[in-house]
Amino acid sequence: MAWSGAGFGGLASGRSELLAAFKERSDWEVELGFGKGRFLLASAAAAPERPFLGVEMVSKYFRLAARRAGARALDNLVLLRGEALYLISTLLPAAMARTVHIYFPDPWPKSRHHRRRLLDPRTVDLVLALLEPTSGRLCFATDHVEYGEAVVETLEAHPAVDVDLLPGAWPEGPRTNYEAKFEAEGRLIVRLMAGLRPDAASLLHPVGRESILVAPAADQPASTSFTSS
Ligand SMILES: C[S@@+](CC[C@H](N)C(=O)[O-])C[C@H]1O[C@@H](n2cnc3c(N)ncnc32)[C@H](O)[C@@H]1O
């Protein structure tokens, strides 16, 4: 993992300092797979009082965005190079984000690869765990209609999530490089926003939940599916 960013008055480069900064606030704007960083850099520059975190696994893009962030002296932006689901599992605290942004993620079209998708029944709870439970929002867009439909289905099947499909573009226009390119090409784009239901934020997606087994308690059968409440 590499990271970049002076971040709120000069963090040292250690894991514990990063963790402390992430835990300090629950209103982070987090983008997973930021590519060349158009949305993240513009958003961080427009709202210097708010904290932004970008995660990108390709070094070339990470370095490009880090250079641009440095040139603009963005003190409210932290960039991490690494795989998003790994970083969520190992470093990023639950409930840190006001918004998680995922734009034009890799669709992994082969069904044996679906579990690598950032939003799949088996991964969605990792991403949702980042959201602050009362006001956290997920913003998502893709030009891959099959993946878009699968994400809508995944979120609509989730007992803790309310989904709003956007009928058209974001009010401010294309957010990312891919969005600008695909919109100019006239491609169909699926855009949605989703939030957690306050009374159900701890519930898990049924597919993920049913894969968890609990070792037997004295008065229970040998193994039983985990049910969250
Ligand atoms: C198709 S590009 C879209 C880039 C940008 N979001 C946009 O809309 O212009 C997908 C980006 O997500 C990154 N990415 C894909 N899967 C990722 C993952 N699991 N963790 C971190 N980055 C990921 C890729 O390296 C790539 O830069």
Which element (helix H / strand E) includes 138?
A: strand 137-142
Cβ–Cβ < 8 Å for 160, 196: yes
Q: Which domain holds residue 25?
A: 2-225
- pLDDT tens, position by position, 54-79: 999 999 999 999 999 999 999 999 99
d(CA 187, CA 189): 6
- pLDDT tens, position by position, 34-49: 999 999 999 999 999 9
Specify the pLDDT at position 10.
Answer: 43
Specify the pLDDT at position 8.
Answer: 41
Residue 164 has pLDDT above 50, yes or no: yes
The number of helices, as runs of H, and strands, as runs of E, in the chain is 8, 10
Q: How many CB atoms lie within 10 A of CB 12?
A: 8
Q: Which atom of ligand 1 is nearest to the CA of 34?
A: 6
Q: Which atom of ligand 1 is nearest to the CA of 179?
A: 8
Q: Is 183 in the pocket of ligand 1 (CB under 6 A)?
A: no
Specify the pLDDT at position 11.
Answer: 42
Which residue is catalytic, options 27, 75, 106, 120?
A: 106
Residue (of 181, 166, 195, 183) closest to 35 by Cα position = 181
Q: Is 107 in the pocket of ligand 1 (CB under 6 A)?
A: no
CA nearest ligand 1 atom 4, residue: 35
**HEC readout, 75-116:** CCEEEEECCHHHHHHHCCCCCCEEEEEEECCCCCCCHHHHHH
Tokens 């949702």 correspond to what residue? Answer: 128
Specify the CATH number for the domain of residue 162.
3.40.50.150
Which element (helix H / strand E) includes 208?
A: helix 206-210
Domain count, the chain: 1
Cβ–Cβ < 8 Å for 6, 77: no
Residue 222 has pLDDT above 70, yes or no: no
Instruction: Using alpha carbons, list the distances in angstroms from residue 150 to 124, 130, 144, 146, 210.
Output: 12, 21, 10, 6, 19
Cβ–Cβ < 8 Å for 28, 136: no
pTM value is 0.91
